[in-house]
Structure 1
Amino acid sequence: MRTWVPGSAMAASIEITATTVQRGDVIQIGGQPCRVADLFHLPGGAKRLRFESGELLTLHARSRLIALRMQRVGDHRRGFSPTRHRR
């Protein structure tokens, strides 16, 4: 796995499914952190995940896992929209 030092990033543990998994998510499998390098769509809503180590994992449509996702501070997808919470 590449060494990566977050500058202005926050780590969040999130529940992922085949629909929400993203490249860069870190999933712990057998005590080893595995970073998702690529995703392949499969029939029935499943996805095949390829990790940076070259290993593969099939995430079925109903599977749920916990992953670590790095988000930049101030990322617009995180938190509340500023227009909804102005005083």
Structure 2
Amino acid sequence: MRLPLPRAGRLDHTDGGDLMKTWTPSGAMAFTVEITSTNVRRGDVIQIGGQPCRVADLFQLPYGAKRLLFESGELLTMHPRTRLVALRVLRRW
């Protein structure tokens, strides 16, 4: 499964006239990885409903579950058996 990369990091006008910030890695190596609640990281990009969502924060829940907060403000709860495919950027400084 291939995940599309979001557009370049600039402000774009949407149909409603709102400004929407988009993100893409520039010059960084990106690869897909299967994630679970144990190995999900901030910065992972998960495609949900055809929309790429970048993980902004993680909250540990009981019984090994995690709640993911995306940059768009949406929440997703991953249970220990949940498996998703994400785009992960390899950052080398």
Residue in structure 1 matched with residue 58 of structure 2 by the alignment: 39
TM-score (norm: length of structure 1): 0.77
TM-score (norm: length of structure 2): 0.72
C-alpha change, 1:2 and 1:19, in structure 2 (3 Å) is: farther
CA shift for structure 1 position 7: 3.9
Structure 2 portions without partners, runs of 5+: 1-19
State the identity %.
Answer: 73
C-alpha change, 1:28 and 1:5, in structure 2 (3 Å) is: closer
Q: What is the 5 A alignment of 1:62-81?
A: 62-72=81-91, 75=92
**How many residues get paired?**
74
Q: Render the CA deviation track for 1:17-76: whole Å, top value 9, x for unaligned.
A: 00000000000000000000000000000000000000000000111000000003xx5x
Structure 1 portions without partners, runs of 5+: 76-87
Supply the distance in 2 between the matched residues of 1:7 and 1:53 (Cα, whole angstroms): 21
C-alpha change, 1:30 and 1:7, in structure 2 (3 Å) is: closer
CA shift for structure 1 position 8: 3.7
- The one of 32, 36, 53 aligned to 2:72: 53
* RMSD of Structure 2 on Structure 1 (CA): 1.8
- The one of 8, 19, 25 aligned to 2:38: 19
Write the letter of the residue equivalent to 1:34. C
Which structure: larger Rg? Answer: 1
Write the letter of the residue equivalent to 1:57. L
Supply the distance in 2 between the matched residues of 1:7 and 1:27 (Cα, whole angstroms): 18
C-alpha change, 1:60 and 1:53, in structure 2 (3 Å) is: same
